Chains A and B, each alone.
Chain A
Amino acid sequence: MTSFITEAGGATVAASGAPALAWLLIVLPLAGAAILLLGGRRTDSFGPLLATALSWGSFVVGAIVMIALLGLPSDGRSQHLALWNWVPAGSFQLDAGLLVDQLSMSFVLLITFVGSLIHVYSLGYMEHDPDKRRFFAYLNLFVAAMLLLVLADSYLLVFVGWEGVGLASYLLIGFWNHNPAYATAANKAFFVNRVGDLGLSLAIMLMFVTFGKVDYATVNAGVSQASTTALTAIGLLLLVGATGKSAQFPLQSWLGDAMAGPTPVSALIHAATMVTAGVYLVVRSHAIYDAAPNAQLAVAIVGAITLLYGAIVGCAKDDIKKALAASTMSQIGYMMLAAGLGPVGYAFAIMHLLTHGFFKAGMFLGAGSVMHGMKDNVNMRRFGALSTVMKITWVTFGLGWLAILGVPPFSGFWSKDKIIEAAFIGEGIRPWLLGGAALIGAGITAFYMSRLFFMTFYGEKRWEKGVHPHESPLTMTVPMMVLAVGSALLGFVLSFNSMFVHWLAPVVGEHGEEHPVLSVPVITGLTLVLVALGAGYAWYVYGRKEAVVPTLAPEGSLLTRAARADLYQDAINEGLFMRPGIHATRALVFADAKGVDGAAGGLAAMVGGLSSRLRQLQTGYVRSYALTMLAGVVAVLGTMWVMQ
């Protein structure tokens, strides 16, 4: 990077005043989860409302802290709140504390606000579910874990939140676990995430070796003394963690399947929590990445690949939720790309994350509303012409659609366009590749999102018999409206006078003025042209009155079929990892053996293959056991004897 990095702002100070209340942010939803889970059926009546109220309470605390921070000078906004001395003994100390700063508070507000809206929405959506108390308990747990993740002051505590988010998502995705397919999806999400977790835990360990401690302050201060090799290794391992949680290539396979959960969960996972954790981790570790350019480049490349991958897959999906999931993957790819660009991109990555949080949550809730009206059908080929019967859903969804397309002046324009611009900054072939990917991605995004929008709301009615679409109740539509307002305006507000960039600057460092290889108006112009082309083509195929959308998916071209099959990711995983260990998998007599797939399952199968081979040593004959012992003795003694 050739930019001038000004050292990240003032030193962190001990929290006082409102920021000292930050612990309440986590405790409120956590208490909700505890009350609902431990209280059992007694809390059935008021539980969901309590959970929602506590979530809003957390948002209010967040807002108060935010206001307090805004009242401080920009170098005093990073406040540390020591909680408790986790492992106090001797030379290895572990403290648990919270770090309240511009970055974490941005996340806190997004999580609590969008999370609370989703709570409200769920009140309507889950109204008839017999187990809704448990559902709300998990929602609260999810929010609490995510807040812990972003507020943690050390990588270790991040890991706690990280595991908590994984657990809560697992519980929520598998919430309807009476359906075996859903339970399988939950398993897949969990296993793939374990690979990511492994990366994170190795990174933490390596940090411990390199820096001696794993809190942000020590790590950031120690970066200048550490070797580049160590930093690159840490950066790559963190990236593995981030790809797992944020569904980035090559660990993205779980995201589509995770749509099995109730729709509000999808909204929560995709917009406000979970998938954003990877981006947060990369941005939070900016000091490491800035000192390890190779790792940083890897982040950008992973982002670029994923944004194209998600976009291509999104073009072929007929399941509205899976199409949205692919879009999330792609949009997170943009954020990763931005985060991999260094100081130029950090602020835009987070900004896009915030705007995306709003419009994607809005669209998911909209999709939920459509499903609610269509008797839980998710096949877009059986939708059509819904703009007439579901007006609120149509309008709110439409605003989200405009935002994700990046049409000015809606939110997406302000954040995504900046990322594309930033991707074009640099020397050599790099900006052309990264920028080109981002640019093409924008065009494809326009196509598949328009396809989704048109197939759902325009064209002719292709409803199944006996389906009478109707607008959803107010508890569902009000959150959608609020989010739609955010989708429309948030980008502009944040970009006004580069407000957000300046706000984050003390955390991630400020970058000097730099110029893309193409001039800014050209990039913006190109983007808009591509977007218009994509959307126009979608209109031509799916939107016009005359357009015929077959209710059964046509066989399609090779690419379409590949995209439908997630570009054969699962098949590749299977071929590479599963086949060799297939015997092992057979040896597993679990009823849920099918749940083991994807990359994690492949690795597991490899371990399993090794395992069943090693297992043959355990013959059951005591004389062969004794022989093994003897072999061990001879080996150890022999080696030591030779070495002397």
Chain B
Amino acid sequence: MKPLTTEQIRAVIARGKLKDNIFKVLGIFCLSLAMVIIVALIADMVIKGSERFTIDFFLNFASRHASKAGILSAWVGSLLVMFVTALAAVPLGVAAGLYLEEYAKRNWITNIIEINISNLAAVPSIVYGLLALGIFVYQFGFGQSILSAGLTLALLILPIIIVSTREAIRAIPAMIREGSMAVGATRWQTCRYHIIPYAMPGILTGVIIGLARAIGETAPIITIGALTFIAFLPPAPFSGEPAAGLFDWVMAPFTVMPIQIFNWTSRPDPAFEINAAAAGFVLMAMVLSMNAVAIYLRYKMRKNIKW
């Protein structure tokens, strides 16, 4: 083989560098396309929905007239459902994560639980809706209530909370446990006074990401049969005639933000597009601010913790 001349070698290098640069441009293009889409999405909703950003929009019930319709029952419903979801998913998820990291022996039961959790994360959310329809709505007789919806979303985000709890616990060095046990603490005391407090920021990040996912979920809630047109609020405790009990609201019919948006988006009347845009922006603002808090927490955690 004839050796290359200096010019030829330079040409080879130049070609390689050119290809590198072309790819760099392509990479930046793809990345900025993703960013442009986020911006376009938000801008579109802000511009279209701007005339609805009034106090009335937040305080009115759904209505047949687009200009009078509001999202009161939707955001109240979303908050109540999130409350039930958090109440069910956080203790279960943290306890399960704690068990798998601190208690579980390496045996087939643990293996099954671990494989199961990673597979559950890949199950489509609408399948959870079918599960809830069969079990919560009909077998347990909870009906199409806030309770059914909250428990469904809790099962849906359980894998997220378990995984983030485990990651947070795994990052705690063994010497913390050894120190605690050396002064006579039991395993539970070690968990209660050391592991859980130190893992708290990580757990919190997972909880927020999980709830942000749950608040935007539509499919499972539609599947259990949430109504799309609700012009009343769930009964507040100790109000009304006869007085509602403390927990009567959990069995009330409800609607949530994503369902309200779906309802408005699928109407042929373009006036409802404006409502859908405004409600979409409110939902986006909720979800993105929750995610931003989680990302910030994680960033802060990474900087502060030095064992």
Q: Do they bind each other? A: no
